[in-house]
Amino acid sequence: MSRAWPSARRIATDVAARIIGRARQGSIAKGDPLHFEPCIEHHGPRLGFHHMYTRASVRQTDDWLGSAVYVDEAQKGHPIDACHLALSQFHAFLATGDERARDGFLARVRGLFAAGHDQTLDGVDCFVMPHFDQVEDYRPHSKPHLNAMVQGWVAALFMRAHQLAGDERYVDAARRAAGPFLVPVERGGVLGHLPHGLPFYEKYPFPGETRHVLNGFMSSLFSLHDLARAAGDERARGLFETGMALLADERTLRAFDNGYSTLYDLGGGRRTTPAGVFYTWVHARQLAGLSRITGSAALWQVAERWRDYVFKKRYRARSRVDTLRFRAVRIPRYVQRTLRRGE
């Protein structure tokens, strides 16, 4: 009984966190994903607001990641959480001029800098941000592991910190944070390939089980663009252009589009993960943001179609059915995993 109670409490807390997290996602997804505020400058060398954030979502993200129901996840020290919180504080400083937000941002960046380390991967000098968790719904994989989205976030945050504080160490680390994008997954990097052969930057680069996560890939492109324009880094510019060439290939976006929603990732063979309404919203916003950067009308048209998937009832209903079915079949596995964490 004494062991059962902590396990039941852990499951209840985790479920509460997921419910609140879904509510936050639903609130964010009510806005138009293709609307960008004037404060977002996508070509100037001075880095400011990020394309994925709106003013409303900054506080929501900060409140969510700092909430009591998220405390178990926060204790894991996921680098992506630290990156989100740092960017939220940076945006708060931009919006209000609050020096406490500025100092909080720089403190979080110092923490990220201390958590990473230099490493040579396949002959490439890199600054890596290690992850030590077992990623949900994947077979046991190597640890620590890397994440293309986080490698990009770290580079973009380091450049913002450099522009605020002038520490040259951040520029060097930001440049080297892009190193793993040159290294194949099989050799410890984040460079994979889609079935049609074009390169893809992997959020979960596990050899033999790599799935191609669309939001992670497009998020890394924003960061590579930030690094290229803020540091004049030609290697980052080349990596960004390589990624944009992938999106320009009509086979790519067609593979992530099932006709009524987008797919979160592409697995082996026919295995795919539905994105649901929220991540379809995220995909539409990311694609629209990349269209604004590059001037691509073709990407904007796809983003408009994906926005329809979010707001039109006939699409939302089918997407919700897919998502509920996907989650339902994973409930037993989720309960077992949660109970094991308490042993």
Mean pLDDT of the chain: 86
Mean predicted confidence (pLDDT) in 2-23:
57
What does residue 192 show for φ and ψ, rounded to 5 degrees? Answer: -120, -170
- Rounded distance between C-alpha atoms, residue 18 and residue 1, angstroms: 26
What is the 8-class DSSP label of residue 326? H
Identify the residue whose tokens are 């592991």.
Answer: 145
CB 108 within 8 A of CB 161: no
CB 283 within 8 A of CB 275: yes
- Rounded distance between C-alpha atoms, residue 219 and residue 221, angstroms: 5
Amino acid found at 29: A
DSSP 258-321: -SSSBEEEE-STT-EEE-HHHHHHHHHHHHHHHHHHHT-HHHHHHHHHHHHHHH-HHHHHHHHH
Domains of the chain with CATH codes: 4-341 (1.50.10)
- Helix, strand, or coil (residue 23): helix
Whether omega for the bond prior to residue 144 falls within 30 degrees of 0, making it cis, is: yes
Q: What is the pLDDT of residues 209-246, one digit of tens each?
A: 888 999 999 999 999 999 999 999 999 999 999 999 99
DSSP 157-186: HHHHHHHHH--HHHHHHHHHHTGGGGSBGG
- Enter the pTM of the model: 0.89
Q: What is the pLDDT of residues 247-290, one digit of tens each?
A: 999 999 999 999 999 999 987 544 567 778 899 999 999 999 99
